[in-house]
Structure 1
Amino acid sequence: MAEEDLALIHALQIAPRVSWAEAARVLGCSPTALAGRWERLRRAGLAWLTVHSGEQSHDVVAFVDLRVEPSWRTEAIERIARDPRAASVEETADGRDLVLTVIVPDYDSLAAFTLDDLPTTPGVRAVNTHVATKVHRQGADWRLDSLDPDQQAALRESARHAKSPAGGHIPNSYWPVVQRLAHDGRQNAAEIARALGRDPATVRRQVARLLATDALAFRCEVAGLRTRWPIVCTWFAQVPMTELDHTVRSLSTLPELRLLVSTAGQSNLMFLLWARSAGDLMRIERLVNEKLPSLRLSESVLTLRTRKRMGWLLDRHGRATGEVVLPRSLLPR
């Protein structure tokens, strides 16, 4: 991707629904050019806007490792990727075949998926579950490095708006609008009203309410292989509880960090990085060992392909196919 493409994606990472006029003022180009560039990136599957549950969500998050018979691998991926409980699906190396990010409303749902449904999926030989006890950093927090500090500050100011105390409750009548936003997070109320055949004023009011609460969170995603960070690696570690807060603060300073989660089990911390190269992974591991002597790295897992990310199905090159399997959190309950 061109530098202008990366700059636009960085801007939408900070302010996913910023107007093209405001984005153009910050980036120094025309709104029409930005809109055209975004449409080209979106149609090529190189960048997209996704929606997930907001900050007030009480969903249970877990990371599930699967071992799969080689002859069943393709069929297992296809079947699991279309399950709304599996928000993300990665093909991995080093003792695992698939790693799933599972998001479900409660522990009963997690048990049903991991203990009942996954073990009976054709080809699945073993299931191992790591339950998240706290998500410290997530993919929505990760940023490209294409904008200067002043541009980033201007976009953060554009994205800042007052939140209603209404919390994360979404009325049933809003779900068609939520589902349209899940397929294209930058759609405006007029476009959604036309697609749904509904009254524009009603849709405008519903969109405004959704944006003014923590019910939904928007994030701009990018095809990792087309960025400067094509290598994806996950580390499992053990940290003394007395050092956990310091460790979280220190790891959060890494620009490569995409995910940082406390987990239940022998490894009580899991973090995922996007790196520039295999050599860069070694540099990061050495840095972590030097800066955090109390952290004991127990295992690293290299992602070979990402087949689904936060509901979006991806092709073999990590590009969005345009097909979205709505996560369970965005379906009426």
Structure 2
Amino acid sequence: MNSRIDEQDLALLHALQIAPRASWAEAARVLGTTATTLATRWERLRSGGLAWVTAHPGRQLHSVTVAFVDVDVVPAEREAVIGWLVRDPRAVTVEEVASGRDLTVTAMVAGHDELSRFVLDDLPAVPGVQRVRMRVATGIHFEASRWRLDAIDREQQAALPAPRAGATAAPLPAAYWPLAEALAYDGRRSAAVLARITGRKPATVRRQVARLLASDLLSFRCEIAQVRSRWPLACAWFGRVPPQEADRTVRSLTTLPELRLCASLAGDTNFMFVVWAHSTTDMVRLERLLADKLPWLTLTESMIMLRTRKRMGWLLGEDGRATGEVVVPSPALSLRGD
């Protein structure tokens, strides 16, 4: 199977980052090709685990609690612990890292009670877990659905279907959960396919998906196998920012094309951000750039991610490709209602 991602692939993926549910005809007009060519290209990328479109809890789910959990493990039990974590819907992202801890986990749960059960009760009881530490996010300022490949020009970007402006989220009926789950497995599923999966009429599905999109309860993202991209290295930095400089720090960091995540944290170390970089030299360049641009930001720690085993619910192989197995993040259960 062809594991290479070429320039035309990158252009398609950039277009899908902007408009994940655009029709092939819409994307073809922008990219100067045919719908059939794009559909064939996408199927090669998706079936090879090189790229995928998913949906996950969006920015309007204010009850969602996010925490970054460091886990130390007995070396001989490492794979067993990872196996437990990747199948737990509360652990949406699981990564093996180079120093300071063995694993780092992004936990996303419906509230602080569930976070306490995960961090204090369930995770420490897993055989092989030696130590658990946690940082709770107080705000997510930027996340990976907004990261872009920079493979198409501004005119092409502007020509793609603009995402709907998110309205204030209102409680949705429990009937919407099957749609959210189906879209987590494949964010490009058509109304006809979703109707077949959920046993509903296509017209009903189209109306309900439109409501989900307008509510901003779901975020759609087009992902790429990182090791096959131009940014094969991931690094996270932790630091301290004076409260009066927080907004300016966020505005500056979000101009970085390498940025994948930016969050405020509870505690003395009150800020973190994650970038994808071309090389270790590139990471040094970024650190120097930040020192010049943000002199008030005190970086206290950095960590390089060696291998991502799960990313926003999707299980990945050792080569970073999607395996096709998805564990839907637990906060999506919030869509069920009471």
User: TM-score normalized by structure 2?
Assistant: 0.94
Q: Are residues 1:66 and 2:71 paired?
A: yes
| Residue from 213, 218, 222 that aligns with 2:220 | 218
| Residue from 277, 280, 285 that aligns with 2:279 | 277
**RMSD value, Cα:** 1.4
Deviates most, 205-214 or 234-243: 205-214
How far apart, in 1, do the equivalents of 2:95 and 2:89 lie? Answer: 15
State the partner residue of 2:309: 307
Query: What is the aligned residue count?
Result: 330
How far apart, in 2, do the equivalents of 1:163 and 1:94 lie? Answer: 39
| Residue from 17, 22, 26 that aligns with 2:26 | 22
**Contact 1:76/1:121 (<8 A) preserved:** yes
Task: Give 3-state SS (helix, strand or coil) of 2:194's partner.
Answer: helix
State the partner residue of 2:189: 187
Task: Give 3-state SS (helix, strand or coil) of 1:101's partner.
Answer: strand
User: TM-score normalized by structure 1?
Assistant: 0.96
Task: Give 3-state SS (helix, strand or coil) of 1:84's partner.
Answer: coil
Identity %: 58
Amino acid at match of 1:10: H
Structure 1: 4+ residue segments shifted above 6 A = none
* CA separation of 1:222 and 1:121: change in aligned 2, threshold 3 A: same
State the partner residue of 2:15: 11
**Aligned 1:112-191 pairs, distance under 5 A:** 112-155=117-160, 158-161=161-164, 167-191=169-193
State the partner residue of 2:80: 75
How far apart, in 2, do the equivalents of 1:182 and 1:160 lie? Answer: 18
How far apart, in 2, do the equivalents of 1:302 and 1:44 lie? Answer: 26
State the partner residue of 1:98: 103
**Contact 1:237/1:299 (<8 A) preserved:** yes
Task: Give 3-state SS (helix, strand or coil) of 2:9's partner.
Answer: helix
Structure 2: 5+ residue stretches without partners: none
Question: Cα offset for 1:145?
Answer: 1.2
Per-residue CA deviations over 1:261-300 (Å, capped at 9, x if unaligned) read: 0101121110101000011011111111111111111111
* CA separation of 1:16 and 1:74: change in aligned 2, threshold 3 A: same
Question: Cα offset for 1:194?
Answer: 2.3
How far apart, in 1, do the equivalents of 2:139 and 2:198 lie? Answer: 37
**Contact 1:234/1:271 (<8 A) preserved:** yes
**Contact 1:66/1:96 (<8 A) preserved:** yes
How far apart, in 1, do the equivalents of 2:211 and 2:249 lie? Answer: 37
How far apart, in 2, do the equivalents of 1:168 and 1:7 lie? Answer: 35
How far apart, in 2, do the equivalents of 1:96 and 1:311 lie? Answer: 22
Task: Give 3-state SS (helix, strand or coil) of 1:136's partner.
Answer: strand
Structure 1: 5+ residue stretches without partners: none
| Residue from 273, 280, 287 that aligns with 2:289 | 287
How far apart, in 1, do the equivalents of 2:307 and 2:85 lie? Answer: 15
